[in-house]
Amino acid sequence: MRRGYLFIFLAASMWGTLGIFATYIYRYGVDSFTMVFWRVLFALLILGTYIVLFLRENPFTRERLWFYALYGLVGVFAFYTLYFYTVKISSVGFAVLLVYTAPAFSVILGRLIFGEPLIREKMVALFLVLTGVVLVAGNVDFHVGYLALITGITTGFTYSIYSILAKFGVRNERPERVLFMILFFGLLFLAPFSKFSVPGGAIPYLLGLAFFPTFLGYILYNHALKEVEVSRASIVATVEPVVAIILAFLLFGEKLTTEQLIGATLIIGGSIIVHLRGEEKPEENLLEETH
């Protein structure tokens, strides 16, 4: 298996733990914005320590600050704000479902921005994973207002924009420093909406949330984007809800329906098709074509 695809699978597996950590954290009465704020803050501390001690570099950079500010605004602040607002005015299932419109946006944007080919296998894989996500999401109530529909689709769009901006970011910079800068700006945008105190019992879970789905997940994904097309990466990353429902089954005893199992099979099948069929263009050629 190509290393990039392995990194994406591992990153999506890390993201699949989000719901597990959130479930424990919510039990302490921590609101969503505060949870995200502490998640980003702890991830910054972990990432900054890693960069200084192991990479022997300064995690901050003065170059392209406008880019990192935009990245943090869209990829951290806007994404989570839209996601949690969609949950508030609709349901978790509906919000999750529309987050995973991201692969469709990524395929379109990957074609327009990077010239990624719209080959048959990729379209088949996209259809499989989108169908699978609908089944995995379970009994979703579609009787929602237009506002929820708009914010939900926009959430999926901002999720896809993360990958697009990451592709640009990791060209000439370490993925770790790119992640550090966007988290730094994201934290600044989140601060006015967050509370700065949390119960002591929630801290271990916040640290886990910062380490696994944030520090590890995004570093793996950013490294993968050095080798893998944005559209393919977004499709493979849809294994995240599959990991989430399996962990919920193992840890909380949540029921796995036949529809969810079929959906998980479709998502995994689509991810395998994307990996096995079609050749990637070398990164060097990609850079030359988009300059």
pLDDT of residue 251: 85
pLDDT of residue 280: 46
Cβ distance 17 to 215 under 8 Å?
A: no
Instruction: Find how far residue 289's CA is from the centre of its chain.
Output: 27
| pTM (two decimals) | 0.86
Place of tokens 């050749």: 279
**Nearest residue to 133 (alpha-carbon basis) of 152, 115, 120:** 152
pLDDT of residue 277: 60
pLDDT of residue 139: 67
Instruction: List average pLDDT for each run of 10 residues in the chain, which is 291 residues long.
Output: 86 89 89 90 97 95 93 92 85 80 93 91 92 83 83 93 92 92 96 92 96 95 92 92 88 86 94 71 37 32
Rg of the chain's alpha carbons, rounded to an integer?
Answer: 18
pLDDT of residue 286: 33
CA distance 204 to 82: 26
CA distance 214 to 76: 11
Non-local CB neighbours of 149 within 8 Å, separated by 6+ positions? 98
What's the domain range around 221? 3-290
pLDDT of residue 217: 95
Place of tokens 């030359």: 288
pLDDT of residue 289: 32
Amino acid found at 96: V
DSSP classification of residue 28: T
DSSP classification of residue 280: P
- What is the total count of domains within the chain? 1
Cβ distance 185 to 41 under 8 Å?
A: no
